[in-house]
Structure 1
Amino acid sequence: MTRYEPAIDIDAITAIDVHVHVEIDAHGHSSLPDDLADAAASYFSTEGPRPDIDGVAAYYRERKMAAVVFTVDAETNFGHAAISSSEIAEGAARNNDVLIPFGSVDPLKPTAVAEARRLIDDHGVRGFKFHPTVQGFDPSDPVYFPLYETLQDAGVVALFHTGQTGIGAGMRGGRGLQLALSNPMLLDIVAAEHPELQIIMAHPSVPWQDEALSVATHKHNTWIDLSGWSPKYFPAELVRYANSIIKKRVLFGSDFPMITPDRWIRDAEQVAFKPEVLPGIMKDNAVRLLRLGDAG
């Protein structure tokens, strides 16, 4: 086992994509049950490759980008074994010139805190990905506070899916997945109770964009990543805030492989991001958040 240590040449990369899913492991196991994977691909109109961890590294290395990589452990809610976060961290350690590992633990499991500590201590993960709708939990419930305290004490990041999701979209009853669990206002409570925990609210939080902007404006331990939507569909208020009030806490993310960084960057040319703000969004803010300044 190799513990992850970053070896990223910050000056040599053009961007850091903070939202990259590993959807297939080296054994061919998928992160989602087949029916959900098919529905999500249809929702995003994607038929492209779903590379394993080494394939993801090659893809981003070719583009001179770094990527935060993770899966989502929703075994309790789905009855489907998750891709191993340990294997993702080991893959990132093999490719530490371009990859940054986040872990994932199932908050509904009684072992979640111990597993988070193991991934931090043994594997050196830099954060954790949560998807309240997919994992089936209310992130504001105090029962999960010991998990957040573990992350806060370790100085790692908590990245939460917010807003609409393509997972379950169009399926009968949305396959039972509840969108309300991903309202960013629930994270206001998490941020208030854990003021040193750095929280990323992933995606334009449709239909709760104003709520996300309110939280980000009020709680300066919160960040917004711009993944999961083509920039040409971004709400105008999100662009306005990204250009001004929260410009130091906005992050480039694609949602690869559902949306590629190539498409995101191409579509971003249609958005009125200020030229002086873009370097922060694309790389500098993530370098500061992930404490990568001394890497490489």
Structure 2
Amino acid sequence: MTQAQGAIDAWAQLAAGRTRELIPEAVRLFEKSGTTALLDKGLSPEETVAEMDRAGIHKLMVSAWCRPERWVSTNDEVAEYTCAFPDRFVGVAAVDMSKPMAALRELDRAVNELGFKALRVVPWLWKLPPNHRLYYPLYAKCVELDIPFCTQVGHTGPLMPSETGRPVPYLDEVALDFPELRIVAGHIGHPWTEEMIGVAWKHDNIFIDTSAYLPRYYPQALLQYMKTYGQDKVLFGSNFPQLSLSRCMEQVGELGLPDEVREKFLRANARRVFKL
């Protein structure tokens, strides 16, 4: 088995071709990443699997997206991919936080009827940090359903305020209130990477995924953490389609990770955290 074969990508979205229309704040992120071709071009499940095969990625954790007043991609749209290729796509639910009771029902449906394995909320879309009261019923539901909560940490690439992405105090407080909740913090946490590492060290239930950053640009502090006392706490993620799957996996090979660390980073940690 090569280093890429069997990899699990912990953070991805559908390439639906509607980003420019529905998430205009993210257009500059695609421009800076050199992936504007996928802003307006949708990929079918079959085409997405072909991209995964070229990169050597076995499973893609694909999330629905909801923002105030509209859905970007629904849980049912994601389920079309997970049903077409159940061994390749893993569904990650989204909910409309402006409708708290409906959000709880939708999360329950996504997990128990659609087979999804996690919930994701992107705080900058809602302009609400993770310790806001609207999140708390969802955290309790995640614990009840035994699924992780996935969220974004660090500055926002899109032109939106970054404050909601600070690990301290927000995720720190959530982990104290919900020690049974598995939390996967995506996007490394830059420029608060060391703060994110400190929070992950402090709380057994907090993990970091590397999405939205090419491996060549992982901070040295994160690489040191991955190779030493944090090797069970960091998961590979791409943020596809913002980043190329093949380019990410090629650069993982340049990191020179020890075999045991690479296995945990690319596969084992995600299997354990998401109970795949």
TM-score when scaled to structure 2? 0.89
Which protein has the bigger strand share? 2
Return the match for 2:79 from 61, 80, 89: 89
* Matches of 1:94 and 1:259, distance apart in 2: 23
Consecutive aligned runs of 4 or more in structure 1 exceeding 4 Å deviation: 28-32
- 2:208 matched to 1:224? yes
Q: CA 1:34–1:277 in structure 2 vs 1: closer, same or farther (change >3 Å)?
A: closer
Match of 1:19 in 2: 11
In the alignment, is the contact (CA less than 8 A) between 1:32 and 1:80 conserved in 2? no
In the alignment, is the contact (CA less than 8 A) between 1:31 and 1:82 conserved in 2? no
- 2:63 matched to 1:70? yes
Return the match for 2:167 from 159, 169, 184: 184
Match of 1:245 in 2: 229
Q: CA 1:32–1:92 in structure 2 vs 1: closer, same or farther (change >3 Å)?
A: farther
Match of 2:47 in 1: 55
Q: 1:180-232 CA distances to partner (integer Å, 9 max, x unpaired)? A: 10112211111121111111010221111111101100101111111111112
Q: CA 1:31–1:94 in structure 2 vs 1: closer, same or farther (change >3 Å)?
A: farther
Q: CA 1:218–1:31 in structure 2 vs 1: closer, same or farther (change >3 Å)?
A: farther
Q: 1:4-62 CA distances to partner (integer Å, 9 max, x unpaired)? A: xxxxxxxx9521111111141xxx65485263343232132213445244432342245
Q: CA 1:60–1:229 in structure 2 vs 1: closer, same or farther (change >3 Å)?
A: same
**Aligned-residue RMSD, C-alpha:** 2.1
| Long gaps (5+) in structure 1 | 1-11, 169-176
- 2:24 matched to 1:35? yes
1:93 is paired with a residue whose SS is helix
Q: CA 1:126–1:166 in structure 2 vs 1: closer, same or farther (change >3 Å)?
A: same
Q: CA 1:109–1:256 in structure 2 vs 1: closer, same or farther (change >3 Å)?
A: same
| Long gaps (5+) in structure 2 | none
* Matches of 1:106 and 1:58, distance apart in 2: 31
* Matches of 2:71 and 2:87, distance apart in 1: 29
Return the match for 1:104 from 94, 104, 115: 94
TM-score when scaled to structure 1? 0.83
In the alignment, is the contact (CA less than 8 A) between 2:27 and 2:158 conserved in 1? no
Return the match for 2:34 from 45, 48, 51: 45
1:101 is paired with a residue whose SS is strand
Relative to structure 2, which stretch is displaced further, 29-38 or 235-244? 29-38
Q: CA deviation at 1:82?
A: 2.3
Return the match for 1:210 from 194, 206, 214: 194
Q: CA 1:247–1:32 in structure 2 vs 1: closer, same or farther (change >3 Å)?
A: farther
